[in-house]
Amino acid sequence: MRTVTRVAIGALAALSLAATAGCAKDPTPAGGGTAAAKAPAKQTLDQALHDKLPASIRKSGVITSVNTGSFPPYTIAGSSSAEATGAATDLLTAVGQILGVKTRQVTVDGLSGELTGISAGRYDFAFGPVGDFKERQTSADFVDWVQEFVVFAVPKGNPKHVNGLADTCGARIAVQAGGSAEEVIKTQSKACVKDGKPAVTVQSYKDQPTSILAVRSGRADAFFSSEAPLTYFVQQSKGQLELAGTKEKNGFDDLYQGAVVPKNSPLAGVLQAALQKLIDNGTYATIMEKYGLDRNKLDKPGVNLAKS
């Protein structure tokens, strides 16, 4: 594994310019990729991995992955879930081919619904990527396939000079409700007050479309979230937005994102092995680079890599 500071956000949910996640098509991908690029090569069935799947999946021939809607460039919404594109969608299709099962995607409202549904057995897993945190590993296992960074999306010119957490005192910061970024920014607000500075005005939204629109409309000074999707939308903003704080840890240590499976499920080992095959045959790199995610690649997948 390459040595690099990694940070990720726990709340990976809808990111779109539409007002409601997953109900409208996203614009053409930017940042080094295009959804119209040649589809990845079809994968060969690995019968040994297929035989290790839970009996219910082998019987139905279908594996159900839950998500929280559009999250470019990982999941780029179409008019229906069947028309979604993106790095996660392409990789999930390839994983299904290796395992010899059809893949079905279900969209729910919010990360809590996603994780609760997995724990309750309503869905087989979430391909994600979802933030892997030590406390989450008590109720689920993570098959990590992405590294991520948490930064700020700000209006062009960064008028409030938000270049890191220390600059957020007195600022209006939009975050995804229930995510790790929300926790970090609330902790920072307390630190601001302790230091005699104005508190952060934390604006918690249920989805990322609302968060990014808050910045574009001037209701928020910055949106604190994952770098990959923020890069996508900054590039789609036609010069209205830019990234800030890209060289700072911003309250996060090394952090990973990946698929979420029920605790102690055999799916963890199966998915890890399938992803490793995609890395070994070059499909993983092709898909990640197709969507401008070269910086987010891992050298190999791992289970529960988060240490904090």
pLDDT tens-digit readout, 224-279: 998 888 988 898 899 999 999 998 889 988 889 999 999 999 999 999 999 999 99
Same domain membership, residue 190 and residue 237 = yes
Q: Are residues 238 and 290 in the same domain?
A: no
Residues 76, 140 within the same domain:
yes
Q: Domain limits at 98?
A: 47-148+254-303
Higher pLDDT, 235 or 191: 191
Q: Are residues 222 and 275 in the same domain?
A: no
Place of tokens 């594109």: 85
Question: Are 171 and 102 in a shared domain?
Answer: no
> How does pLDDT run across 47-92, given as a tens digit for each residue?
999 999 999 999 999 999 998 887 888 988 766 556 778 999 999 9
Is residue 60 located within the same domain as residue 204? no
- Write down the residue that tokens 């609302």 correspond to: 210
Q: Evaluate whether residue 24 is within a structural domain.
A: no
pLDDT at 197: 98
> Does a structural domain hold residue 13?
no
pTM exceeds 0.85, yes or no: no
Contact 151, 230 (CB under 8 A): yes
SS3 16: coil
Which residue among 226, 244, 262 closes a domain? Answer: 244
Q: Which of 206, 226, 244 is a domain's end point? A: 244
- Is there a single domain that holds both residue 136 and residue 158? no
Query: Are 141 and 155 in a shared domain?
Result: no
Decide if 111 is inside a domain.
yes
258 CB-side CA count, 13 A: 28
List pLDDT tens digits, range 90-115.
999 999 999 999 999 998 887 888 98
240's CB contacts (< 8 A; 6+ apart) are 155, 156, 216
Report yes or no on 154 lying in a domain.
Answer: yes
| Residue 221 belongs to some domain of the structure | yes
Q: Within this chain, do residues 124 and 260 fall inside the same structural domain, yes or no?
A: yes
How far lies 136's CA from each of 14, 130, 180, 190, 253, in Å?
20, 11, 11, 24, 16
**Residue 8 falls within a domain, yes or no?**
no
Q: What is the full DSSP assignment across 194-244?
A: HTTSPPPEEEEESSHHHHHHHHHTTS-SEEEEEHHHHHHHHHHTTTSEEEE
**Is 127:88 a contact under the CB 8 Å cutoff?**
yes
pLDDT the model gives residue 226: 87
The enclosing domain of 190 has a CATH number of 3.40.190.10
Task: List the Cα angle 280/282/287 in 5-degree steps.
Answer: 130
**Nearest by Cα to 130 from 109, 144, 150, 110:** 144
* 258, 34 contact by CB (below 8 A): no
20 located within any domain: no
pLDDT at residue 34, rounded to an integer: 42
Q: Do 106 and 66 meet the contact criterion of CB atoms below 8 Å apart?
A: yes
pLDDT band at 39 (very low <50, low <70, confident <90, very high): low
The count of structural domains within the chain is 2
CA distance 246 to 222: 13
Distance separating alpha carbons of residues 41 and 113, to the nearest angstrom: 33
The number of angstroms, rounded, from the C-alpha of 94 to the middle of its chain's C-alpha atoms is: 18
Measured distance CA(27)–CA(16) in Å, rounded: 9
**Considering the domain boundaries, does residue 32 fall inside one?**
no
Same domain? 135 vs 262: yes
Residues 142 and 284 in one domain: yes
What values do phi and psi take at 41, rounded to 5? -60, 145
Are 76 and 222 contained in the same domain? no
